[in-house]
A and B are shown apart, each in its own frame.
Chain A
């Protein structure tokens, strides 16, 4: 087989033609030499050569491949057909393009987020080393129980299943010594972490074990983004010093682009410098990553850690300077029931978006089905119109396989064009998503079209083309084609059986659309419920928040640090338009690491059980009035209380109710946080605040003074990282932001303003998952509604056009236009009704899957389940009414004349 012969067949044929021509000329020449006249010579030569055209055709066929030839013929024929019927083609291609585009886009997201391995070498060996502790109550974060430094030492030294492991934590730090002071996000890492991730520096070196030794020279790694932003990618930064929290640190290396630990983007990477000699059992603030040895399974790693937990409990003191094997501490930690929860790192990174993404993927799959049903419907209408053409072809001897092939090729061609359009749509959509997507969608930056997505698109396109192509093909090209010659005659209304397939498709469409619209409706209701929940603070849009940190290196004295924070608050309060200012270690939903501990009430014995964990927050006077949280009983703290070290505390209303029955009853009661701590008097009760987001119930909170003796140890300390809450109508403006910066610098030029944000933005961010799901489902629902509308319209319009003569006769016989309209509207509503019934049943089952995404609405929400079918019925009514009106306007005379 010579490819040239096949691929450039026309050129090759041309060569043969030339050659044969030359041959003929030579023959003529030779005959002329023999003395024949030119005419005779030509004659003789032609006779001698034989039928050269037939020979050429023979060669042409020889060089071709039979089936490719006939298929390419079919494709050309199909393309011509599609070009001729532009409106049909446009609708079909657009429908498919939207469907395929949406699916490709979402698949790319699912693929990048859920399926693709993490961007670390041999990332399947990486595990997230988390722990569960069902008895530990509120101390747990969504990730379970973190590691304490002592756990890190025990695990890293005594495990038998990890090649290397390390821990890290994150915090804001202030960088000075460059331009203006800046707050940046830093990851503090222990030795072993970068080794586990198998990271390589872009330039310079990584952190070495020596960097982790307390007291040695301080070093810092830059991430690629920070290096580019602050140093313009200058390679000579290695060895330069920057001040991090007022302490000089030498830049030893830069990490490569895209490097991040788990999914925590950071600007700086700093050595954690855990100090063995100060390690105690507690302090579960570290996250850990390990790389298992080859062949070690997750279960083995879990078993290994489970073995080490009791060893850890006996190896460390419970308070600094205490002795190991503290029986009381061991009792406490045993009651926590700490267990290992080693999981592949990827699962941890992906976290809770898994369910969202699968729901979205499922919905868009349904949209694709609806789109396919629609195109199948359109194709059927089209094939219907070509009944006689097909019948004639069959009569001329085309086997039905051949006709099915022709029809399938047509739908494949449609699919291919639609798929191409879909790719373009997906590409655009993804660019949009990456730019505007929810920032808490993990691995957002990795999302893009790749070869997997392309394969997916091709498969979807092929399958859907098969699906929507086979339905009409099998219906019309079946063995009964010959019937069509009879049935297709123009004087009878078509038989009922011809409509069955199309009606089924419409019913499927309606029921799928209903399911999608109900899902979207549930999300809208969830969103409403979340927006209308009383958060415990007022007008979040008029509340500006920002964080500031006062490093110990800058202000060693604890009270001085607090007085500096108070000074900032007073400066800010003096700004124009600011009505109230307060600060705390954490504001609702700001993601600051929470602190949990038990609370002991006076007169209660805790010999047998530990008190449940409560959220502890350090608050300044005036915080609640700036937030707009009401004091339900008693009073707020004052600065005199705080600097006078008066043992006061505030509690949340739900805690007061739980412990003493009512808010008023709480005033004057005494509590303490540990058996050895001093008693503190409850002076005020604050309205419940939803600290963990609208979806979570308000936690029971103990509001501790911002400065004074800390809850768990007899130590007086300031809260050095505080977030300010500023009540002002100018929240969110850059003018206010500049004034805030100046106010902070006027107190101390070394301080930076971090994370300025209005409370509205904070709340919206905490609802990003819901709003993302909502937007995706709303898009899918809208597409389904439009497609369903087009589907019903198409079916009714077609029925009308097929029955024009019948209608003409009816009208001629005296039927009212109203009656005629009724016939078609009733047909449409009937189909829609069946679809709705099926859809409702399916939705009742399917919405259970969404349960974890819903808030404040049951999966079978009566409002949604009533409103959506009504909407669909109205849409159907509109879709039927348009063609029905056309039907009733039929002029009987015209239609008779047309015969």
Chain B
């Protein structure tokens, strides 16, 4: 979901996604950059993303990922579900 969220702002290549997630989590999440790629592959096969080769600002070849309409829908669905869950947890935490 984090990846989808990241890509919601526009096409991005793998390194940038990893960096963005790291920045957001302020280093709290210690994940290897490599684990990003199996996740990307899965979302590609599911049709949530599409990928295109392009050039970065430093003139390196990289693959840019972009949300497809299905991907956008998926993101919405997941964020609603996530928000619901968070709210539920908050409710439970508050009442106890």
Question: Which residues of A pack against B, CB within 8 Å?
Answer: 1-2, 5, 15-16, 18-20, 22-23, 25-27, 29-30, 48-52, 54-56, 58-59, 62-63
Of residues 30 through 52 on chain B, the ones whose CB sits less than 8 Å from some CB of chain A are: 32-35, 37-38, 41-42, 44-45
Q: A26-B15, A49-B32 are in contact. List 18 more A-B contacts (CB 8 A).
A: A2-B45, A15-B63, A18-B61, A19-B62, A20-B34, A22-B14, A22-B15, A23-B14, A27-B33, A29-B58, A30-B19, A48-B32, A50-B32, A55-B35, A59-B41, A62-B42, A63-B41, A63-B45
Q: How far is the CB of B68 from chain A (nearest CB, A)?
A: 13
Q: How far is the CB of B28 from chain A (nearest CB, A)?
A: 16
Q: How far is the CB of B64 from chain A (nearest CB, A)?
A: 10
On whether A55 and B34 interact (CB within 8 A), knowing A19-B62, A22-B61, A23-B18, the answer reads yes
On whether A1 and B45 interact (CB within 8 A), knowing A26-B15, A27-B15, the answer reads yes
Which 5 A/B pairs are nearest by Cβ-Cβ distance? A50-B32, A50-B34, A26-B15, A55-B34, A49-B33
Interface of A is mostly: helix
What A residues does B44 contact at CB under 8 A? 2
On whether A5 and B15 interact (CB within 8 A), knowing A19-B62, A49-B34, the answer reads no
B26 interface contact, C-beta 8 A = no
**Docked complex Cα distance between A56 and B35 (Å):** 10
What A residues does B14 contact at CB under 8 A? 19-20, 22-23
Q: How far is the CB of A4 from chain B (nearest CB, A)?
A: 10
Q: Assess whether B33 is in contact with A48, with CB atoms less than 8 Å apart.
A: yes
Q: Assess whether B35 is in contact with A50, with CB atoms less than 8 Å apart.
A: yes
Among residues of B, the one whose C-beta sits closest to the C-beta of A45 is B33
Among residues of B, the one whose C-beta sits closest to the C-beta of A54 is B34
Interface of B is mostly: helix
Q: How far is the CB of A22 from chain B (nearest CB, A)?
A: 5
Interface string of B56-71 (1 = CB under 8 A from A): 1010111100000000
Q: How far is the CB of B29 from chain A (nearest CB, A)?
A: 13
**Docked complex Cα distance between A18 and B62 (Å):** 8
Q: Assess whether B56 is in contact with A26, with CB atoms less than 8 Å apart.
A: yes
On whether A5 and B45 interact (CB within 8 A), knowing A23-B14, A62-B38, the answer reads yes
What A residues does B38 contact at CB under 8 A? 55, 58-59, 62
What A residues does B60 contact at CB under 8 A? 22, 25-26
Q: Assess whether B37 is in contact with A55, with CB atoms less than 8 Å apart.
A: yes
Q: How far is the CB of A41 from chain B (nearest CB, A)?
A: 14
Among residues of A, the one whose C-beta sits closest to the C-beta of B32 is A50
Which of A23, A30, A49 has the most C-beta atoms of chain B within 10 angstroms of its own C-beta? Answer: A23
Among residues of A, the one whose C-beta sits closest to the C-beta of B37 is A55
Q: How far is the CB of B51 from chain A (nearest CB, A)?
A: 9
What B residues does A27 contact at CB under 8 A? 15, 33
20 contacting pairs across A/B (C-beta < 8 A): A18-B61, A19-B14, A19-B37, A19-B62, A19-B63, A20-B14, A20-B37, A22-B14, A22-B15, A22-B61, A26-B15, A27-B33, A48-B33, A49-B32, A50-B33, A50-B35, A51-B34, A52-B34, A59-B41, A62-B41
**Docked complex Cα distance between A409 and B43 (Å):** 35
What B residues does A26 contact at CB under 8 A? 15, 56, 58, 60, 62
Among residues of B, the one whose C-beta sits closest to the C-beta of A51 is B34
Among residues of B, the one whose C-beta sits closest to the C-beta of A5 is B45
What B residues does A22 contact at CB under 8 A? 13-15, 60-62
What B residues does A63 contact at CB under 8 A? 41, 45
**Docked complex Cα distance between A30 and B18 (Å):** 13
Q: How far is the CB of A485 from chain B (nearest CB, A)?
A: 42
What B residues does A23 contact at CB under 8 A? 14-15, 18, 33, 62
Which of B37, B42, B56 has the most C-beta atoms of chain A within 10 angstroms of its own C-beta? Answer: B37
What B residues does A55 contact at CB under 8 A? 34-35, 37-38
Q: How far is the CB of A52 from chain B (nearest CB, A)?
A: 5
Among residues of B, the one whose C-beta sits closest to the C-beta of A16 is B37
